[in-house]
Structure 1
């Protein structure tokens, strides 16, 4: 039998106390410190896009000119009625991330308002804390208004980039532009569109004139995403423990107690990718009266704010055809690459581990544990099967029952756990000592992990609350088409020729970069966003490039 005693009691106690401190600090101590004022800076790569494309953006959040300690950025698209129709979260690393919004296939053609912010920046930083921009989305299946003869525009009116700044080398165009004193440079080249000159006033004070909640509870996300819950009971028991488990490709468990307002804050740390949440208490006889509150900013623009109407003329038919061609090319040439991340190990240090495939399988967990796990005692009490873990450091059996867990979800019905057929269970981990989650002490654990992270067929608790709740988006890398070289099997019809971030000038004060043209000829718009080293102001320069 494969067993291993992994840690002595002193080491485990120190480890669990550290977990308790890290888990509690964001919700208990952060409110007592001065909250930072943040500036949210965004460069939208493709502000005119089709549905079923990625809306890419480079996001930078600073505090006093330094990377913000916030770990999560919020992105959303609002329609002309102020309804958030697309939203997502991304992880900030040293105050920066290349993130995206996936544009769904059923999104109507229209102009939308893009908002980007952190958990606290709309409340602490005003206009600088909320980036806003106009984004134009075209759905070929739900086309915009088509006018008979009106031509909406000739695209950008930016000045032409002089030929002396460009040089052809093999299949690439090399660019060198004088930009002395420029830092934090980002470069994007897109084909011009009829909407490049469409503007709308985005005055923060006029758009959000009324402060609905002057004293909100603000919790900066310094370690990861914080999930906020709210009890709906008339009487709040601040001693009751709530268990929240998050499930996706992996699972994780978190606990908290409500404050006097019935609010709970679950600090998820570096556990980022999940699809739904399960909320329970140890009171198996009653339904959980609980909701998860949206972490997104709930303010909507004033009713006097109006997005412009998206129109196209019959003369813009070629533009639509090029965008459809480009959508297919982008999926091939610059389609996002998922950045792999190692799965998180089991969140607790165990004393014994069992791979159940190494043993003959029994039809229920009670028999399995009774036959193979000598450090867990199976007993009958009041006609109900219960479990008691052996306490290794004290060389005795715990009086209280252990925490029973399947795929991160606690099970408080020991009889259901005992009768459960473990045919879908891959492994079992045992903790034979006190361990802690936040300030809660538990007398050991019996943890089951299924093959498919589907609870192994266990019937989920009837009193539990199941809520769809997406975590932080999986990181993708937008890569340059330079990696592909020439390809005659798939024509290159990209309308976004390059996107490069964190560029710096050379010793002569020149910005140097290269890109590969596509087969689509015509005018392209080069947008360079940078910070002026003389006054630290954020600026954007635009140049027109005629690709013949």
Structure 2
């Protein structure tokens, strides 16, 4: 099915580049459902969430999109926080810190895929969350007016949760059990569960989650689905006239410990698209034209997030003053979160391991590979290649030194320069390369033969890497475009201390967790039974257990219960 969909995608893309109006009748639609660990957050706190992408019938996870885009929109519909979640077979998870300067207010948590952007925000998932900036000590807050209907109220299947204890002490174990109602089925890992503390900030004023209304198939599809990974898009324009530049090559490099490189050609409108690998975390991307176009081409990158329409200030509701209880609870939350993030800083930074399938250079197995620390280190690049690298020779021309790669087919060296890359970035200035400090290089690989990449042909490839994969101070040409790039959120391990042993219960390390438990992939048995266990911390009060999901018929599933800690 995915292969069939990819063929349709190629047809759409090809026709759209010729300005044709495309209206396929059987393309699958997608819907996103977001589940979070709670609905009230402080600035500087972590949001834990799960994204589940379904086909429109909600009978299965979508096998198409591989990235979910998630935002917090403020009262004027402006994006204040953004994150990308990697989807594997339709399910993904993410965790991200709110900035310490985000204003207090009720925000809309919004989720969608690039394919869903073709149908507009009417199909995006939305639910409200409250953010309190305790650093700024707010005196009032604005709750939103009733929103215009963009869907229908979700049918909710209520779960009956039971727990081993309704009242517990500090650092004690509790177990929650439940059964899905007869006839209700949920896909594997289709549920999430959280346990968090309640206080006066919990409110019923939030807008309920909406199930998007049925949509009309759009006339055009400018946003193709991301079948393999994120699509990085942009535009080439003339530095002199500002007009789009068609049929020009652009190079994308993503430096790192496993660097990535690609070349594409702009379309008739000067637009280009790269299908980048599964890139996690934040870093930099580097784009450049080939040197012959360096004085002509201006490169810009397009944000993959939807361009939301900003709402006028005139439509906002008045602010309401905070109560004394809300002020007190805000101070308590602030102190507990700051202490917990300080004492458990190392545990809160634990990430899940990500397995990368392809660890070879982009050209495949090399003909020669070398680790420079295996040799006596020389201090010039010329000496390194003359003494260590058998498949590359150094030759001096009138304009300076050049590298020449071996052509293994005839045991002769090529007469022209090979394709030279440092941490995935192509280098075309030999003088800068030979002036670079070779002590910053860790390894290298050589393809000793011609290499074809699309319409390009190079006489060998020399692929070098620094120790940190960050170019380590190499002086790049002025015409290169370097941009910060936010990859997909690296999945984190939720830290929840276990106090089974008495020695752990007696630990003097404080446990000021607001969220006791978070599991974005809770699965039920074939008979519909499910459950989980957790330990309380050092903060007394009332706590709420929330289990959420969506049934195979598109119905929201939710169960809630409370217990106390004394």
TM-score, normalising length from structure 2?
0.79
Instruction: Name the CA distance, whole Å, in 2 between partners of 1:36 and 1:308.
Output: 42
Asked whether the 8 Å contact 2:407–2:413 carries over to 1, the reply is: yes
Query: Which residue in the other structure is 1:406 paired with?
Result: 422
Structure 2 portions without partners, runs of 5+: 15-23, 142-157
Query: Which residue in the other structure is 1:347 paired with?
Result: 362
Candidates 375, 386, 402, aligned match of 1:386: 402
Query: Which residue in the other structure is 1:282 paired with?
Result: 290
Alignment partner of 1:415: what SS?
Answer: helix
Query: Which residue in the other structure is 1:106 paired with?
Result: 101
Query: Which residue in the other structure is 1:12 paired with?
Result: none
Instruction: Name the CA distance, whole Å, in 2 between partners of 1:406 and 1:428.
Output: 9
Instruction: Name the CA distance, whole Å, in 1 between partners of 2:258 and 2:8.
Output: 23
- Measure how far apart 1:222 and its partner are: 1.1
Alignment partner of 2:433: what SS?
Answer: helix
- Measure how far apart 1:403 and its partner are: 0.6
- Measure how far apart 1:176 and its partner are: 2.9
Alignment partner of 2:337: what SS?
Answer: helix
Answer with 32-41 or 260-269: which moved more. 32-41
Query: Which residue in the other structure is 2:198 paired with?
Result: 192
Are 2:138 and 1:139 equivalent residues in the alignment? Answer: no
Instruction: Name the CA distance, whole Å, in 1 between partners of 2:282 and 2:538.
Output: 40
Query: Which residue in the other structure is 1:452 paired with?
Result: 468
Q: 1:45 to 1:306 in 2, by over 3 A?
A: farther
Query: Which residue in the other structure is 1:258 paired with?
Result: 266
Instruction: Name the CA distance, whole Å, in 2 between partners of 1:443 and 1:271.
Output: 30
Candidates 313, 318, 332, aligned match of 2:323: 313
Instruction: Name the CA distance, whole Å, in 1 between partners of 2:317 and 2:128.
Output: 8
Answer with 28-37 or 252-261: which moved more. 28-37
Answer with 27-36 or 106-115: which moved more. 27-36
Candidates 43, 49, 53, aligned match of 2:45: 53
Mapping of residues 19-418 of structure 1, within 5 Å: 28=10, 31=13, 35-63=27-55, 64=57, 65-68=59-62, 69-124=64-119, 127-128=122-123, 130-146=124-140, 171-181=172-182, 182=184, 183=186, 184-193=190-199, 194-200=201-207, 215-233=220-238, 238-248=246-256, 250-283=258-291, 285-286=294-295, 288-300=297-309, 302-303=311-312, 306=316, 309=319, 311-328=321-338, 331=341, 335=348, 337-341=350-354, 344-348=359-363, 349-418=365-434
- Measure how far apart 1:547 and its partner are: 3.9
Instruction: Name the CA distance, whole Å, in 1 between partners of 2:565 and 2:43.
Output: 26
Asked whether the 8 Å contact 2:193–2:547 carries over to 1, the reply is: yes
Candidates 444, 449, 453, aligned match of 1:428: 444
List per-residue Cα deviations over 1:280-305 (Å, max 9, x = no partner). 12226526401011010112365486
Alignment partner of 1:369: what SS?
Answer: helix
Q: 1:97 to 1:276 in 2, by over 3 A?
A: same
Alignment partner of 1:338: what SS?
Answer: coil
Instruction: Name the CA distance, whole Å, in 2 between partners of 1:45 and 1:302.
Output: 28
Asked whether the 8 Å contact 2:69–2:85 carries over to 1, the reply is: yes
Query: Which residue in the other structure is 1:11 paired with?
Result: none
Query: Which residue in the other structure is 1:490 paired with?
Result: 509
- Measure how far apart 1:276 and its partner are: 1.0
Are 2:562 and 1:544 equivalent residues in the alignment? Answer: yes
Asked whether the 8 Å contact 2:166–2:564 carries over to 1, the reply is: no
Q: 1:400 to 1:219 in 2, by over 3 A?
A: farther
Answer with 259-268 or 399-408: which moved more. 399-408
List per-residue Cα deviations over 1:394-450 (Å, max 9, x = no partner). 444334421111111100112322333312112222111223445533221112211
Structure 1 portions without partners, runs of 5+: 1-20, 148-157
Alignment partner of 1:143: what SS?
Answer: coil
Q: 1:528 to 1:219 in 2, by over 3 A?
A: same
Q: 1:368 to 1:260 in 2, by over 3 A?
A: same
Matched positions, count:
511
Alignment partner of 1:337: what SS?
Answer: coil
- Measure how far apart 1:355 and its partner are: 2.2
Answer with 348-357 or 373-382: which moved more. 373-382
- Measure how far apart 1:512 and its partner are: 2.8
Answer with 108-117 or 305-314: which moved more. 305-314
- Measure how far apart 1:531 and its partner are: 3.4
Alignment partner of 1:423: what SS?
Answer: helix
- Measure how far apart 1:462 and its partner are: 1.8
Instruction: Name the CA distance, whole Å, in 2 between partners of 1:164 and 1:364.
Output: 70
CA RMSD between the two structures: 3.7
- Measure how far apart 1:230 and its partner are: 0.7
Q: 1:324 to 1:160 in 2, by over 3 A?
A: farther
- Measure how far apart 1:495 and its partner are: 2.5
Instruction: Name the CA distance, whole Å, in 2 between partners of 1:439 and 1:166.
Output: 69
Asked whether the 8 Å contact 2:256–2:470 carries over to 1, the reply is: no
Alignment partner of 1:473: what SS?
Answer: coil
Asked whether the 8 Å contact 1:273–1:472 carries over to 2, the reply is: yes
Instruction: Name the CA distance, whole Å, in 2 between partners of 1:274 and 1:444.
Output: 32
Q: 1:497 to 1:363 in 2, by over 3 A?
A: closer
Q: 1:356 to 1:205 in 2, by over 3 A?
A: closer
Q: 1:506 to 1:404 in 2, by over 3 A?
A: closer
Query: Which residue in the other structure is 1:503 paired with?
Result: 522
Asked whether the 8 Å contact 1:190–1:524 carries over to 2, the reply is: yes
